[in-house]
C-alpha cells in the first residue's frame, strides 16, 4: 500500500528550508524506500578553525614527528586526533 506524501513547500532560501526541516519529519514528505545511495567524490567536508593551547614540549614533539614524516604538523595532529576518536568510538 502506497501512502500519500505531503508536498514539500517552496523555500525562499536555505535558512528558510533549514528552519522548516528542523521542525518537520522528512518521512511525511519523502519515501525513503525509493532513495538511492549517492557518491559525491569531489565534496569536501566542512571544516572549522579552532584554537587549542598545548604545552610547548608537546607541540615541539609533534613538529619533530611531522618533520620526520615530511607532513605539516597540523595535518599530523588531525590524523592522530581522528584515529584516537575513532578508537574511542569503536570501544
Ordered by start, the domain boundaries in the chain are 56-90
Instruction: Count how many Cα atoms sit within 13 Å of the Cα of residue 50 in the half-sphere of its side chain.
Output: 8
State residue 66's pLDDT score.
96
Task: List the one residue out of 18, 16, 38, 37 whose CA is nearest residue 26.
Answer: 18
Distance between CA atoms of residues 21 and 18, nearest Å: 5
> pLDDT tens, 12-56?
999 999 999 999 999 999 999 889 998 888 888 888 999 999 999
Distance between CA atoms of residues 62 and 77, nearest Å: 7
Q: What is the DSSP string of 20-49?
A: HHHHS-GGGT--GGG------TTPPPP---
Amino acid at each position: 500500500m502506497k501512502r500519500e506524501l505531503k508536498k514539500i513547500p517552496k523555500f525562499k532560501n536555505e535558512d528558510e528550508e533549514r528552519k522548516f526541516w528542523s521542525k518537520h519529519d522528512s518521512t511525511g514528505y519523502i519515501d525513503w524506500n525509493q532513495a538511492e545511495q549517492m557518491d559525491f567524490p569531489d565534496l569536501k567536508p566542512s571544516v572549522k578553525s579552532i584554537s587549542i593551547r598545548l604545552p610547548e614540549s608537546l607541540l615541539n614533539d609533534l613538529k619533530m614527528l611531522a618533520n620526520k614524516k615530511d607532513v605539516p604538523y597540523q595535518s599530523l595532529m588531525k590524523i592522530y586526533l581522528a584515529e584516537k576518536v575513532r578508537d574511542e568510538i569503536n570501544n
